[in-house]
Amino acid sequence: MGKGMRGMPFSFGPWMMVVASCAALPACGRPTGDPEPAMRTIDCALAGASAFTPVCRVEQAGLVLVVHHPDGGFRRLHKVADGRGVISADGVEEALVAWANDGRLMVTVGPDRYLFPAKVKPDNAPKP
């Protein structure tokens, strides 16, 4: 045992484990050399903005879409095949879906709006 500040005995045991755990943190996560997940840029109007800008990025993992905001925030949406296109994957805010005039799918969740490229379905198909 060594002498700590003020001459009090201390043990390196628990503190060494904390320091060793913290040192290993950078090694966690994505292995080096793995590419970033493929993302597509979409137009969005965040926090009630009136104009759309191409600053949101979408990552897809199976049927889940993660829309990344430039400030680090994100929304998770779940693709569905019932005519709605997507629904909120989590949270209490419902995803409202409508076709934009240019044929893209406009998804509104809370104060945020997103324009997704989408295939227009035949006239007799269910509308979002």
Q: What is the pLDDT along the chain (128 residues), one digit of tens a residue?
A: 555 555 545 444 443 333 334 444 444 444 556 566 789 999 999 999 999 999 999 999 999 999 999 999 999 999 999 988 999 998 889 999 999 999 999 999 999 999 999 875 555 655 55
pTM: 0.67
Quick check: is 57 in a domain?
A: yes
Quick check: is 74 in a domain?
A: yes
Q: Which residues of 82-111 are buried (b: 16+ CB within 10 A; e: fewer)?
A: eebbbebeeeeeebebeeeeeebbbbebbe
pLDDT at 100: 94
pLDDT at 9: 52
* Count of structural domains within the chain: 1
Quick check: is 125 in a domain?
A: no
* Host domain of residue 43: 39-116
Quick check: is 107 in a domain?
A: yes
Quick check: is 112 in a domain?
A: yes
Distances (CA, A) of 105 to 44, 75, 100: 11, 16, 6
Amino acid, single-letter form, for residue 81: A
